[in-house]
Structure formats: C-alpha cells, structure tokens
Chain A
Amino acid sequence: ETGVTQSPTHLIKTRGQQVTLRCSSQSGHNTVSWYQQALGQGPQFIFQYYREEENGRGNFPPRFSGLQFPNYSSELNVNALELDDSALYLCASSSGQDRNTGELFFGEGSRLTVL
C-alpha cells in the first residue's frame, strides 16, 4: 500500500511568484486535504477536495487554489507569494469511511521558503 507522497520536498521562491505543490493520495483514498504549518504552529486547514470538487475551505485568501484529478491526486497553487506563506505544506488523504471521522493520513510535506 503506497502512502501519501508530496513533491517537491523543498523549494525556494521570491515574493510575488507563483508555486504549485503536488500530492498523490494513499491508494484507495478519494479525499485530499491541504494544511499549512508555520514554524512553531499546528497545521491550519486550507481546503479539502472530494470527487474533484472543493467541499470545504479554511480562512485562506483566493490566491490559494487547488485541483483534484480523476486519480485523486491533487495540486495546491499559491499565487502572488508573500513572505508569510513560508511554511510546511501538508497534504493528507482519507478514505470514504475516514471522511466520516476526519482521520487523516499525511504526507511528509513540502517546505516552502519565500524570500
């Protein structure tokens, strides 16, 4: 059983640029959630995708957007990067049953640094 994989693991961007982060969900999981974890903080919910549609969103501006593909993989796009966007971005997948409880299976994250 393949776990959640994320790419890239590390990247550096400059303010104003755009970034795309990718996530492959665990085998059999149809729901993907994205979280932002700033240094010294807990993960903050960005949004969730189920059956290729966004079905939940946290307090993040529209420049944070996403996609889910038919194979349940997902992308997180961030436009007009700001210094405060520097964080670990975590992707988490869940199965149909796990969706009912909120149990999440996390990847190892993509560390974004904005200069």
Chain B
Amino acid sequence: AQSVTQLGSHVSVSEGALVLLRCNYSSSVPPYLFWYVQYPNQGLQLLLKYTSAATLVKGINGFEAEFKKSETSFHLTKPSAHMSDAAEYFCAVSSPSGGYQKVTFGIGTKLQVIP
C-alpha cells in the first residue's frame, strides 16, 4: 500500500520569505510524485512532477521540489513567497496497481502568506 504524509496542515510565511512544504511518501515500487495546488472553490492544478528523470524538479510559479529516495521525501520549496501563493497544496504519489496507476493524495497543507 502506498501513502503520503504532509507535515503541517497549516503553514504561515511572510511575503518574501522561503516557502517549505513537507511531503514524505511510502511506496513498495519506485513511484511518480506530484505536487498540486488548489485555490478556493477550484479544482487541482499541477505544479510539478517527478517521473524518474532529474531529482530536482522545477514547476510553475517559481516552485521546485527535490526527490530524495533515501529520505522518501519530496518537499516543495519556493525562495520568495508571494501573496498569490496563498492556497492549499497537495502532494500525491502514483504507482502501478492492478492495471492502472493508483494515485494517492496527502491531506493537504494550507499556505498563508502574511504581508
């Protein structure tokens, strides 16, 4: 069984400060990993993905994440927070399961950006 743990359901940062959202996963096979962002009353939008190429992945809006197999982690970072980054962020793990790619999401981290 696979799982995702997102440490910190709420994270607050000052505008211009570093954003660090933590994600640890569990998977019995090499996984694919994703970060999605959800703005209020909207669906999820892909920020970035790890699909077994480079371990440091760059995404949209200045976000990046590093896959660390030894730590089973895929933390999301952004050097300088912007007010528009306030949203909920979901980490997801994907691996084969009986003929389809099973995708499991974490519970999400709500990011607040303080002016």
Residues of A within 8 A of B (CB): 4, 33, 35, 40-45, 48, 50, 55-56, 90, 92, 99-109, 111
Chain B residues bordering chain A, tally (CB within 8 A)? 28
> What are 12 A-B interface contacts by the 8 Å CB criterion?
A42-B90, A42-B107, A43-B90, A43-B105, A44-B105, A55-B99, A56-B98, A56-B102, A90-B44, A102-B102, A105-B46, A106-B43
In the complex, the number of residue pairs spanning A and B with C-beta atoms less than 8 Å apart equals 69
B92 to chain A, nearest CB (A): 8
Q: How far is the CA of A108 from the CA of B42 in the complex (A)?
A: 5
Q: How far is the CA of A20 from the CA of B43 in the complex (A)?
A: 19
| Interface members, chain B 71-108 (any A CB < 8 Å) | 90, 92, 94-95, 97-108
The winner among B34, B92, B103 for most chain A CB atoms within 10 A is B103
Other-chain contact of B94, A55, A90, A101 (Cβ < 8 Å) = A101
Other-chain contact of B105, A42, A55, A56 (Cβ < 8 Å) = A42
A sample of 9 more A-B contacts (CB under 8 A), given A35-B105, A40-B107, A42-B107, is A4-B43, A43-B90, A45-B102, A90-B44, A92-B44, A100-B101, A102-B92, A105-B46, A111-B41
